[in-house]
Amino acid sequence: MSVTCTEVLKLIPLYVDGELDALRIDEVERHVSDCPECLGQLEMLQRLSQAVRAQYDYQPLPDSVLARIEAATVRPLRAHPVRWFVPFAAGLAIGAAAIWMVVPGLVRKDRFAQQLVSSHVRSLMLNNLVDVPSSDRHTVKPWFQGKLSFSPTVPDLAKQGFPLLGGRLEYLEERPAAALVYRRNRHIINVFVTDNPVFGLSEVDSAGFHVRHFRFQGLEYWAVSEVSEPDLKEFEEAFVASGA
C-alpha cells in the first residue's frame, strides 16, 4: 500500500537523519520517485544538512586546553615547585628505581591486579560479558573443554545469592584463562581462573573495585568486582565450600 504525502513529509526528516528502518526507507524512496513535491522537500533537507556540516565553524581543541585537562586528570598530582624539592625528588626517584629493580615481583603483582580490573571493566563495557550465557554449571563447565588445558570448577551458587550468568575465555599473562561470571544483586563478579601459580594476591583494594585471590583444587582463582568487600569474601567462602 502506498503512503500519502502527509505521511512521507513526516518521515523525511527521519529519513535524512538515518532514523528509519529498511521498510520505511523503501516506502519513502518509492514515494519520492513519483512525487516531485516530496522529493523537493527531501533534497532541501539533505542540502541543508550537508551545508551545516560543511560550513560549521568546528574548532580543534587547543593544545593548551588539552594540557590543562590532562594535568587535572590523568597526570599525577605534583607538589609545589620549591627548591628543596628537586634533590628530594631525585632521591625519591633513585629509591623508586631501586625498589623497581630489587622487588620486581611486587611491580608485576600490581600490574597483574590492574590487568584483572581492566579485564573486568572491559567485560562490562563492551557487551562482552559471556561467551557462553547460561546459569547451568553443566553447560558452562564443559564449554571450556578443548579451549583450556585445565578444567575450572563452576559451582552453582544461586542459593547463596550469587547466580551464575555464564563464562568466557580470557587471556592473562600471555596464557589462556577462564572467566566465570556471577551476579550479586545488580553487580557483576568476574572470577578469573588460571593454572598459573605465579601471582598470589590475597586481596586488593582499588578505586571502587576489589580483587580476592584463592587457590582451589590446584588452580588459581581471582574474584573481581565492585561489590562490597564482605560480599566478595562471602562469595569466596561460598565458592570454596561448594566444591569441598
Binding residues for other proteins, per CB under 8 A? 13-14, 17-19, 44-45, 47-53, 55-62, 65-66, 68-69, 72-74, 76, 109-110, 113-114, 117-118, 121, 124-127, 201-209, 226
**Min separation Cβ 106 and other proteins, Å:** 9
Least distance between other proteins and beta carbon 15 (Å): 13
Measured CA to CA, the distance from residue 204 to residue 159 in angstroms comes to 27
Nearer to other proteins, 144 or 221 (CB): 221
Q: Which is nearer to other proteins, 28 or 154 (CB)?
A: 28
Nearer to other proteins, 95 or 142 (CB): 95
| CB closer to other proteins out of 51 and 98 | 51
Q: How far is the CB of 132 from other proteins (least distance, A)?
A: 19
Our CB check for other proteins shows the closer of 117 and 154 to be 117
Task: Please report how close the Cβ of residue 153 comes to other proteins at its closest, in angstroms.
Answer: 25
Distance of closest approach, residue 148 Cβ to other proteins, in angstroms: 26
Separation between Cα atoms, residue 139 and residue 59, nearest integer Å: 53
CB of 244 to other proteins, least distance (A): 26
Q: Give the Cα separation of 160 and 241 in Å (integer).
A: 11
146: left (phi over 0), alpha (psi -120 to 50) or beta: left
Of the pair 76, 146, the CB lying nearest other proteins is at 76
